[in-house]
Amino acid sequence: AQSVAQPEDQVNVAEGNPLTVKCTYSVSGNPYLFWYVQYPNRGLQFLLKYITGDNLVKGSYGFEAEFNKSQTSFHLKKPSALVSDSALYFCAVRDMGGYQKVTFGTGTKLQVIP
Partner 1 sequence: DAMVIQNPRYQVTQFGKPVTLSCSQTLNHNVMYWYQQKSSQAPKLLFHYYDKDFNNEADTPDNFQSRRPNTSFCFLDIRSPGLGDAAMYLCATSRADSSYTFGSGTRLTVV
Q: Please give the residue ranges that form the binding site for partner 1 (CB under 8 A).
A: 32, 34, 36, 38, 41-46, 49, 88, 90, 92, 99, 101-102, 104-107, 109
Alpha-carbon gap, residue 14 to 12, rounded angstroms? 7
Taking the C-alpha atoms of residue 69 and residue 92, their distance in angstroms, rounded to an integer, is: 15
For residues 109 and 100, what is the distance between their CA atoms, to the nearest angstrom? 27
State which residue, 40 or 80, has the beta carbon closest to partner 1. Answer: 40
Number of neighbours of residue 56 by Cβ within 10 angstroms: 11
Q: How far is the CB of 60 from partner 1 (least distance, A)?
A: 12
| Shortest Cβ 65–partner 1 spacing (Å) | 13
CB of 21 to partner 1, least distance (A): 14
